[in-house]
């Protein structure tokens, strides 16, 4: 199983220390938040990370094509790939915090499909038509996969049709995993491409502690944003008996301070079970193995923000078992 780390740069030195630790403990991918109003610029910190690492894949997790034009995304990531050849991935999404906080609307399925196709063409050195002219990047092409980070039914299916990979943030409970796989399969059938052509990742929160209750408490702080985002994007995945608790989280959530601890009071057992892996080290390994038997091969992990560095070290302790 591949284990990737999702991280946000709130300050440069602590972020770079985490980059160093992630590579040291064996994390395969580093996915960096692109949220200009709440974090340091993703492309700038990825550039520094490219200079400090030798093995990890570096990815936007996720950028958008509303506040950044697709040609700018392609050129920026191709430049970073010059520093870390073959180790850069474009993770793109419709836009959430970074788009909504400036009063813009997230990308439609059609717009994002077009952007994925265009970004791939640009990094491959192929022409793309803008207006009445064909344009191309003026330097050599790069091997740079484009992944769609998505949750909604139509987005997931579109990603399976046109992207190199898909990252789902819908959760890891059995019924949700089945629903995601159905969407991926439908997209690949529609595009007449092999299912194996689509690299599927699942996003969730991880918290390890010798006390099961403490592990769940630690995870709660990170589950808030993950759950709220998903409940808004895919309300049909909320079971009827849990609708009231999920709506309470949505109604009381502040995007501008998504990391604030006051949101934790609205996290429930249902949300933790769906969006997080918690427990002591042995329990967590068993849960990861169970997911692997269900066909989950790649996980993008969010760690508790207030205990991030210790949790990263604990993650490193269990990685050899995977």
Which pLDDT band, with edges at 50, 70 and 90, does 36 fall under? Answer: confident
CATH architecture of 2-212+276-321: Alpha-Beta Barrel (3.20)
Sign, Cα dihedral of 135, 85, 309, 289: positive
* Arithmetic mean of pLDDT over the chain: 95
Contacts of 289 (CB under 8 A, 6+ apart): 322
Of 201, 177, 200, 288, residue with least CA distance to 4: 201
Of 118, 52, 68, residue with least CA distance to 60: 68
Give me the pLDDT at residue 166, please.
Answer: 98
Sign, Cα dihedral of 58, 35, 223, 309: positive
Q: What is the mean pLDDT of residues 246-271?
A: 88
Give me the pLDDT at residue 103, please.
Answer: 87
Q: What is the mean pLDDT of residues 195-206?
A: 98
* Better-predicted residue by pLDDT, 263 or 310: 310
| Domain segments of the chain as ranges | 2-212+276-321
Give me the pLDDT at residue 287, please.
Answer: 98
DSSP single-letter state for residue 86? T
Give me the pLDDT at residue 202, please.
Answer: 98
Give me the pLDDT at residue 42, please.
Answer: 97
Q: What is the mean pLDDT of residues 49-67?
A: 97
C-alpha 73/C-alpha 309 separation (Å) is: 30
Give me the pLDDT at residue 240, please.
Answer: 97
Give me the pLDDT at residue 305, please.
Answer: 86
C-alpha 216/C-alpha 170 separation (Å) is: 19
Question: Is the full-model pTM beyond 0.85?
Answer: yes
Given a cut of 80, is residue 289 above it in pLDDT? yes
CA 56, 274, 116, 258: dihedral to nearest 10 degrees? -80
Give me the pLDDT at residue 300, please.
Answer: 98
Give me the pLDDT at residue 98, please.
Answer: 79
Given a cut of 90, is residue 99 above it in pLDDT? no
Give me the pLDDT at residue 45, please.
Answer: 97
Share of the chain above pLDDT 90, in %: 89
* Better-predicted residue by pLDDT, 100 or 160: 160
Q: What is the mean pLDDT of residues 28-42?
A: 93
Q: What is the mean pLDDT of residues 54-68?
A: 96
């Amino acid at each position: 199983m591949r284990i990737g780390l999702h991280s946000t740069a709130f300050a440069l030195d602590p972020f770079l220390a985490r980059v160093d630790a992630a590579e040291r403990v064996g994390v395969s991918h580093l996915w960096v938040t692109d949220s200009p109003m709440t974090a340091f610029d993703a492309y700038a910190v990825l550039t520094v990370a490219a200079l400090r690492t030798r093995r990890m894949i570096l990815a936007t997790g996720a950028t958008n094509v509303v506040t950044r034009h697709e040609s700018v995304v392609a050129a920026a990531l191709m430049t970073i790939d010059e520093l870390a050849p073959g180790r850069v991935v474009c993770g793109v999404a419709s836009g959430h915090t970074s788009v909504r906080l400036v009063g813009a609307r997230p990308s439609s399925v059609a717009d994002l499909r077009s952007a994925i196709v265009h970004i791939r063409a640009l990094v491959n050195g192929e022409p793309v038509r803008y207006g009445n002219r064909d344009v191309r990047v003026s330097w050599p092409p790069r091997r740079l996969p484009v992944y769609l980070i998505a949750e909604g039914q139509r987005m997931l299916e579109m990603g399976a049709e046109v992207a190199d990979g898909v990252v789902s943030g819908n959760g890891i409970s059995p019924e949700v995993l089945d629903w995601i796989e159905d969407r991926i399969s439908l997209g690949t059938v529609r595009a007449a491409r092999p299912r194996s052509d689509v690299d599927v990742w699942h996003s969730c929160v991880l918290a390890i502690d010798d006390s099961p209750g403490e592990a769940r408490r630690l995870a709660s702080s990170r589950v808030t944003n993950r759950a709220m985002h998903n409940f808004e994007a895919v309300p049909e995945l909320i079971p009827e008996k849990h609708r009231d608790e999920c709506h309470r989280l949505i109604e009381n959530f502040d995007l501008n301070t998504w990391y604030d601890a006051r949101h934790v009071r609205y996290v429930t057992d249902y949300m933790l079970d769906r969006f997080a892996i918690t427990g002591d080290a042995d329990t967590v390994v068993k849960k990861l193995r169970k997911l692997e038997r269900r066909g989950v091969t790649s996980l993008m992990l969010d760690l508790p923000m207030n205990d991030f560095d210790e949790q990263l070290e604990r993650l490193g302790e269990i990685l050899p078992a995977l």
